Amino acid sequence: MLGLMQNQQLLISSLIEFADRHHGEGEIVSRRVEGDIHRTSYREIASRSRKVANALDSLKLAFSDRVATLAWNGYRHLELYFGVSGSGRVLHTLNPRLHPEQICWIANHAEDQVMCFDLTFLPIIKAIHSNCKTIKHYVALCNADALPKDSGIPGLVSYESWIGAASDQYDWPEFDENSASSMCYTSGTTGNPKAALYSHRSTMLHAFAGALPDALNMSARDTLLPVVPMFHVNAWGLPYSAAMTGAKLVFPGPAMDGKSIYELIESEGVTFAAGVPTVWQMMLGHMQAGDLRFSTLKRTVIGGSACPPAMITAFNDVYGVEVLHAWGMTEMSPLGTVCTLKNKHLPMSEQDKLKVRIKQGRGIFGVDMKIVDPEGRECPWDGKTSGDLYVKGPWIISEYFKGEGGNPLVDGWFPTGDVGTIDSDGYLQITDRSKDVIKSGGEWISSIDVENIAMAHPAVAMAACIGVKHPKWDERPIIAVVKKPGAEVTRDALIAFYDGKTAKWQIPDDAVFVEAIPLGGTGKMQKTKLREMLKDYKLPGT
Ligand code: AMP
């Protein structure tokens, strides 16, 4: 017997319709490429999303055709989120930090039909457009008068004149909720990038689960600043959860430096922010230098790479901001775990609470996790045994776009490539990427642990731990360090800093100082590149 409930499909268009009706006056504030601050509302975004849908119809775009964006976080990008997916097309967010050739390869692979880009990225478009075989329409996200003349890009139009000519009357189509809604290519550290192809259903369920109190705890009383880019896994689903809850949205545009982010938080009364550790490192540096404090910020979700404990402590103890450490990946839409405390943790000392907070957190409803040993047997949830992390759930890929790479699943589970432990309360702690773990004398050393200790040193801006060959131990860890501007620390002082903080054999054998650690397009440290950089390095005494 089937239930007797209305069989309404879960569609992204319902989010903006809801926000329009229930939070029409809710503000959307954007720092624009033009440098100014722009203000609009959910009502206006809804109206302009309908114009986007009409404008796409007039281009005769078919259902599931891909519309690419190369854009910062801002209101026009948000309109494309709803207008493109809501009208049945697939929003393809391209990462402008990739090499132009790679962007072109990805656009061809996705068979993008339309390219909407911020003027910042005009040089990229100029460099690649003649090789982008499938793109028929180029739209610059600007006013008509800002449209560059003689750009050499055929048929280039401004976004404002493009949607300005379209009606804001539009009946969002009803279709199968399993239809594709958006796509994002993974960073692709090896081989060609592969795409996760999200559906309306997966996006909606992810938005529901992400907003829950023990996940990101979002509400209409929040002012949300997603610093995490809208070109990286849909800004962790925040634009969708924001529309679902009616939270005020603040977009940083291209200005991601510490000063600009701090000023935006203060001027807009941001209560909740989201971003990768490197962004917060820059902002905390700016605040420290000027002895600044927050007046409204309550919590921040940090993920994308391990959040150093020193950062959690600084936010908590100095600035009174709760850090939600979260873990996920492109293939998971991306949310997998969020670290929120349980009742039993509340009476604990701050130091003991920190031991929980530094973990990546509990699986949110919808995400099943297990850790397995090399034979594929499930490891116990004892907080000690580490294993390869596998996940499954309705917003985790079943395969990559166009079946690239074959079947990625093992008995229905997606192997994440991460290694970690899970404790008896269900808290996951990531210790490494499987390819980054260091094996010394038959024992594993977590590169994240080694990095976290270095990051707690006041002179260290960034630290990356890699294994180097050792004649006796097979591999030994070394730490590559970027110093904070004007700060000093010697190799010996840094190594001595590890004393008493970890087991002796886990202390790195050497510290090398570098100008910069190579970062990938999504702000993650690229250890393959670092290893290449240090390929002539030899451990002292070997
Ligand atoms: P991406 O698909 O580019 O978002 O990268 C996903 C990968 O980033 C994961 O598989 C992890 O290796 C890493 N990652 C994400 N969040 C965290 C975190 N909180 N701690 C450690 N690693 C993380």
Atom of ligand 1 nearest to the CA of 331: 2
CATH number for the domain spanning 513: value is: 3.30.300.30
Q: Is residue 35 part of a domain?
A: no
46 and 157 assigned to the same domain? yes
Q: Do 383 and 480 belong to one domain?
A: no
114 within 8 A of 59, measured Cβ to Cβ: yes
Which residues line ligand 1 at a C-beta cut-off of 6 Å?
186-187, 233, 303-306, 325-330, 334, 360, 416-418, 430, 433, 522
326 CA: nearest ligand 1 atom: 19
pLDDT at 188: 54
Residue 187: its pLDDT value, please?
67
Do the domain assignments include residue 485?
Answer: yes
Q: Is residue 147 part of a domain?
A: yes
| Angle made by CA atoms 276, 281, 287, in degrees to the nearest 5 | 130
Query: Residue 149, Cβ neighbours under 10 Å: how many?
Result: 5
d(CA 159, CA 48): 11
Residue 314 shares a structural domain with residue 429: yes
User: What is the structure's pLDDT at 189?
Assistant: 52
> How many domains are there within the chain?
3
- CATH number for the domain spanning 176: value is 3.40.50.12780
Asked if 87 and 131 sit in the same domain, the reply is yes
Asked if 423 and 441 sit in the same domain, the reply is: no
- Residue 276 CA, ligand 1 centroid: distance in Å: 10
* Distance in angstroms (rounded) separating the CA atoms of residues 178 and 155: 34
Ligand 1 mutation pick, 302, 327, 359, 391, max ligand atoms within 8 A of CB: 327
- Ligand 1 center from residue 274 Cα (angstroms): 14
Shared-domain flag, residues 48 and 168: yes
Q: Specify the pLDDT at position 157.
A: 97
Tokens matching residue 439: 């094996």
Question: Is 323 domain-assigned?
Answer: yes
Rg of the Cα trace of the chain? 23
Ligand 1 centroid, distance to 185 Cα (angstroms): 14
What lies within 8 Å, CB to CB, of 198 at 6+ separation is 180, 181, 182, 183, 184, 234, 333, 395
Q: What is the pLDDT of residue 528?
A: 86
Question: Would you say residue 141 lies in a domain?
Answer: yes
Last residue of a domain, one of 390, 417, 434: 434
Shared domain for 409 and 491, answered yes or no, is: no
Q: Say if residue 460 is in the same domain as residue 407.
A: no
Are 414 and 372 within 8 A, CB to CB?
A: no
Q: What residues of the chain score a pLDDT lower than 70? A: 187-191
Do 429 and 449 share a domain, yes or no?
Answer: no
pTM of the model as a whole: 0.91
Using the atom order of ligand 1, give the atom closest to the CA of residue 325. Answer: 19
Burial of residue 194 (CB within 10 Å: 0-12, 13-18, 19+) is buried
CA dihedral for 82, 84, 87, 90, sign (positive or negative): negative
**For ligand 1, mutation pick of 524, 525, 527 (most atoms within 8 Å of CB):** 524
Q: Which two tokens stand for residue 180?
A: 């594709």
- Spatial contact of 489 and 456, defined as CB atoms under 8 Å apart: no
Whole-angstrom distance, CA of residue 15 vs CA of residue 21: 10
DSSP reduced 3-state for 462: strand
First to last CA, the chain: 72
Residue 70 one-letter amino acid: L
User: Is 107 inside a domain boundary?
Assistant: yes
The protein residue whose alpha carbon is closest to atom 9 in ligand 1 is: 329
Indicate the residue among 199, 220, 238 that finishes a domain: 199
CA-closest candidate to residue 231, choices 77, 107, 336, 105:
77
Is residue 367 included in any domain, yes or no? Answer: yes
CB-based contacts of 4: which residues, under 8 Å, 6+ apart? none
Q: Are residues 194 and 59 in the same domain?
A: yes
Instruction: Give the residue numbers spanning the domain of 277.
Output: 256-434
DSSP 84: H
Q: Whose CA is nearest to atom 7 of ligand 1?
A: 329
**Pair 403, 510 in one domain:** no
Which pLDDT value is given to residue 508? Answer: 96
Which of 199, 214, 246 terminates a domain? The answer is: 199
Considering the domain architecture, whether residues 386 and 262 belong to the same structural domain is answered as yes
Catalytic residues: 186, 331, 439, 444
- Residue 9 in any domain: the answer is no
Question: Which residue type, as a one-letter code, is found at position 346?
Answer: L
Give the pLDDT confidence score for residue 190 in this predicted structure. Answer: 55
* Residue whose token pair is 């329009």: 20
